[in-house]
Amino acid sequence: MNTQITEVRGSFPRSAFDTAWVRRGALAGLDVLAWTVALGLIIGIRLDFAITEVESASVIRYWIVVGILLIATGYASKFYRGRFLVGSFDEALGLALHVGTVAALALVLSPVIYPGLPRSIPVLVPPVALLLCAATRWLYRAFRDRSSDGVRGEVTNVLVYGAGEAGRQVANLVRTQSDLSFRVVGYLDDNPGKRHLRIQGIPVLGGGLSMADVASERAAQGVIFAVPNASGALIGRVQEQAQHSGLDFFVLPRVNDLIGGKVGATDIRRVEIGDVLGRHQVETDLSAIAGYLTGKRVLITGAGGSIGSELARQVHRFGPTTLIMLDRDESGLHSVQLSVYGRGLLDNPDTVLVDIRDMESLREVFKEHEPQIIFHAAALKHLPMLERFPGEGWKTNVLGTLNLLKLAAEFDVEHFVNISTDKAADATSVLGVTKRTAEQLTAWQAQETKRPYISVRFGNVLGSRGSMLHTFNSQIESGGPITVTHPDVSRYFMTIPEACELVVQAGAIGRPGDVMVLEMGEPVKILDVAKRMIKLSGARSIDIVFTGLRQGEKLHEQLFGDDEQSRSTQHPMIRTVAVPMLDPEQLEEPPRVSQDT
């Protein structure tokens, strides 16, 4: 069956088109009226209306010429054709230029068209006219804002926490978007210098500690947290204050995640556990990253997984010549291609279905694509499963990594970034030992090639497939109980985008053989996470059951081993350690793992 796609032209309603021209014509008419009033004021104040017939004729000609110039130049410059939002700061500058242009042209024409015009008129009238034109726009904007604050059905009074730029954008958005059922009744800000500030008529009423009193006084039912780059600790604290005050709590994404740095209607959402645990401000040296990614052939293994797919999205933004996404999971490849390119046909050579255990198939991939940079994210990662099947972990995490390292050296790969884990530090599990071995093999290959082949080690990432948060959410949805291994168990957390951003950054600054360790903040007790997720869900009776530490599992993870000495790097959130190199010839069989926890 053939499907015909036709292009629809002229789809704007005629009535809307006519209304726009009426509105713009009215704006031009108001400007002409402002010049008329200004002319009358100057004649009255400066000349006391005492002008001769010759001067009167010149004044009339001046008024006619100015009116024609206003409309003609306004049309030519698109000033009266919707170039600026009426009442905006952009329009203020445009208005000044428009009035100045008309005033200059009128002054130049003075000796030719109206020689009898009093000399004070073309000099004094334009500034007064500019003030009157600006005043009409200010009145229009005030009326528009007041109108948009009118009744829109049932609305929720909210306080905005943060009187900065994001807070101002939130208030403007709430005021102008009829589909947002909020009304901003005040700001909260912990900066004492903003205590008496009013922003577009909305006052700053206090800090976070006064939230309950302010909410009661203003009949507020919610709080919108408008500090996009706040730490997780601050978000958690304000959320606790909101909960104790009986208020709904909403947040904005990080500044990097806002389109163009602007707040949109869909950006205001309820808080999630990731906002509290994973809010790390990452400063990225974009020039360094672009220098080693732009125009390169980049291979990402495990591209269908949580880390690999986010790496693919981030690397794609830097314009590699080719982005080869490799995985043994065809569904994962479909998802990542859809998220990166907006299509999921799986019919182009850049999506590769290969298992890294298969050396010969990998070699064919290297021959075809000749990658220059590799991000190695393919791994088996579930700790209890690998305790049951250690041989599988060895084949993928060790031998699969070794396959890639050998081919990287053979095909002169410039950068190799091995994704590791904090469980490699003083490893007590099969997962930790296999990833530690992969770090050592990478360091050995770096010495052989003298190239920046590095490993990047970090802790738990929020939202990855099969992660603790997914498990807790599922348990809460089913009515509980939530299972926690131990009341004191703690882990490091970071969001997937933040971790991947630092991985890409580490690849730019790492030296041969380095193990780069990402700054993860303070460890968080899993019991506290479970309790907070129960609160966020609104559930009242979810039990928490302790199941005991699993085989090979640590009570507290660590980013550095006891024998490792970390060093700072040029990036404040990345440190580096050295690991002993391991010659592949010494790999005979999977090592035994200590079961001490």
Distance CA 224, CA 194 (A): 18
Burial 532-568 (b: 16+ CB within 10 A, else e): bbbebeeeeebebeeeeeeebbbeebebbeeebeeee
Are 198 and 243 within one domain? Answer: yes
Residue keyed to tokens 């049309």: 75
Distance CA 277, CA 520 (A): 10
Are 161 and 129 within one domain? Answer: no
Question: What pLDDT tens digit does each residue of the chain (597 aa) get?
Answer: 444 443 444 444 544 445 667 777 888 888 889 888 988 888 888 777 777 766 788 888 888 998 899 889 888 888 887 777 776 677 788 888 988 999 899 888 888 888 888 888 888 889 998 898 888 888 877 776 665 555 455 778 899 998 888 888 888 777 776 666 788 899 999 888 888 888 877 899 988 889 999 999 999 999 989 887 777 778 888 888 888 888 888 887 665 555 444 555 556 777 767 667 765 666 667 677 878 999 999 999 999 998 999 999 999 999 999 999 999 999 999 999 999 988 888 888 899 999 999 999 999 999 999 999 999 999 999 888 999 999 999 999 999 999 999 999 999 999 999 999 989 988 889 999 999 999 999 999 999 999 999 999 988 777 666 667 778 888 888 888 999 888 988 887 788 888 898 899 999 999 999 999 988 777 888 888 888 888 777 666 888 999 888 887 788 877 788 788 889 888 888 889 999 999 999 887 665 554 443
Domain membership flag for residue 422: yes
Distance CA 136, CA 132 (A): 6
Distance CA 458, CA 418 (A): 12
Helix ranges restricted to H, 351-400? 359-369, 383-388, 390-393
Distance CA 385, CA 119 (A): 92
Are 372 and 266 within one domain? Answer: no
Could you tell me the two tokens for 39?
A: 């002319």
Which segments within 37-129 are labelled E, that is strand?
none
Could you tell me the two tokens for 216?
A: 């009661």
Are 161 and 143 within one domain? Answer: no
Taking Cα atoms as reference points, which of 494, 486, 483 lies closest to residue 553? 486
SS3 assignment for 84-110: CCCCCHHHHHHHHHHHHHHHHHHHHCH
CA atoms 376, 382, 386, 389: torsion sign: negative
Q: The domain containing residue 263 runs over which residues? A: 156-271
> What pLDDT score was predicted for residue 2?
46
Which segments within 380-458 are labelled E, that is strand?
415-419, 453-457
Distance CA 167, CA 188 (A): 10
Are 230 and 339 within one domain? Answer: no
Could you tell me the two tokens for 91?
A: 């329009």
Taking Cα atoms as reference points, which of 280, 332, 278, 286 lies closest to residue 309? 332
pTM given for the model: 0.67
User: From the candidates 423, 531, 535, 554, which is the catalytic residue?
Assistant: 423
Domain membership flag for residue 280: no
CA atoms 389, 392, 397, 398: torsion sign: positive
Could you tell me the two tokens for 324?
A: 């080869």
Distance CA 331, CA 353 (A): 10
Are 104 and 187 within one domain? Answer: no
Domain membership flag for residue 370: yes
Domain membership flag for residue 569: yes
Are 374 and 440 within one domain? Answer: yes
Are 199 and 347 within one domain? Answer: no
Domain boundary among 147, 181, 208: 147
Are 249 and 313 within one domain? Answer: no
Domain boundary among 271, 300, 326: 271
Are 553 and 465 within one domain? Answer: yes
Distance CA 501, CA 347 (A): 28
Are 430 and 340 within one domain? Answer: yes
Count the neighbouring beta carbons within 10 Å of the beta carbon of residue 191.
12
Tell me if residue 423 is catalytic: yes
| Domain count within the chain | 3
Domain membership flag for residue 390: yes
Q: What is the DSSP letter of 137?
A: H
Are 461 and 312 within one domain? Answer: yes
Could you tell me the two tokens for 71?
A: 């409309």
Phi, psi for 185 (deg, rounded to 5):
-110, 0
CATH at 247: 3.40.50.720
